[in-house]
Structure 1
């Protein structure tokens, strides 16, 4: 009994190290697939609020902006993507769950199918500021910076959340045979999800 527990406890660090190495390799592989034009920040960083305050100063300035797609509108000679700007991480991806920084229009000189470039997807674009346009957001006149898109990257959609699966006895050495899926919230005294389990005391039989 004790020797079994010792083997389990000694095996965890190597398993953890292997998982960390695998995660790092996966991240490196994913990063290598992102175009360099998206991963590389511009020499001068300009945020959306600066352009709204002084549009003339920043017209022609290249930017790398990204965020969550709000709307996609097709026109005869271009496609406009309305984006809620968010901070970008080290590889140019919008930071999930971060606060919005305002709205901008990404103007692409070709047709994009709204079924593929859909609402709520994450997008990063690179290109120069061509000016601003005032458009209503509800009843409010909002000043949109316009970016002429030279490079763009539509980030892969997040996979749907996995179903809550019951891992039965024998699936993992860290689950006891009395593991009860109905008491996952912690009400069961015998639920031990992360360590060696202990056999519950036997109940006296009533005759």
Structure 2
């Protein structure tokens, strides 16, 4: 199989998978294009939103559980994007008990619901106005696998057909192929 064919096959497979990406059914609907930073600065009470991000803390009480979240932009599946772009913080509260050992800090969630004003809490010594959402859906995303890249030095490097010495990094073929990816799941 030629290297060009492998690359084109991989690109076609990625395009097909991207075309199949859909928003999970509980998160579907029409929502206002309002970020938590916008809601913090203006009155958006009652506006239906779909926000997501990384859990900062989960605080259950007698009647409900509140999730303090570092907001992130959402991708085409409504999953928080893993990058350094924060959309501010928000708090989402929902009736019932949600276990803080399941909804741990750092886990990704997406919520839908209506904005219900703001509530002020300390972040360090700073008084931060969290936009508050009365959540209808709390969607906890599965943990992402940990990906470790190991270099692959081209055909022949540990390849029984080509032999162990042909096409390694010193022969110039090493840069033509993507690295081998080893996936380890969190426990």
* TM-score, with length taken from structure 1: 0.70
Gaps of 5+ in 1: 1-7, 181-187, 197-207
Asked if structure 2 preserves the Cα contact closer than 8 Å seen for 1:40 and 1:91, the reply is: no
Matches within 5 A, 1:30-49: 31-32=21-22, 34-42=23-31, 44-49=32-37
Q: Tell me, yes or no, if structure 1 residue 146 matches structure 2 residue 132.
A: yes
Larger radius of gyration: 1
Q: Tell me, yes or no, if structure 1 residue 122 matches structure 2 residue 103.
A: no
Q: Tell me, yes or no, if structure 1 residue 74 matches structure 2 residue 71.
A: no
Q: Tell me, yes or no, if structure 1 residue 192 matches structure 2 residue 173.
A: yes
Residue 25 (structure 1) shift: 3.5
Question: RMSD of the TM alignment (CA)?
Answer: 2.9
Superposed CA deviations along residues 11-62 of structure 1, whole A, max 9, x for unmatched, are 2333223222322333455x34x424525451x31122222223xx311111
Structure with higher helix content: 1
Gaps of 5+ in 2: 178-187
| Structure 1 residues 165 and 194: alpha-carbon distance in aligned structure 2, compared to 1, 3 A threshold | closer
Question: What is the number of residues matched between the two proteins?
Answer: 174
Structure with higher strand content: 2
| Structure 1 residues 91 and 40: alpha-carbon distance in aligned structure 2, compared to 1, 3 A threshold | farther
Q: Tell me, yes or no, if structure 1 residue 52 matches structure 2 residue 43.
A: no
Q: Tell me, yes or no, if structure 1 residue 23 matches structure 2 residue 14.
A: yes
* TM-score, with length taken from structure 2: 0.77
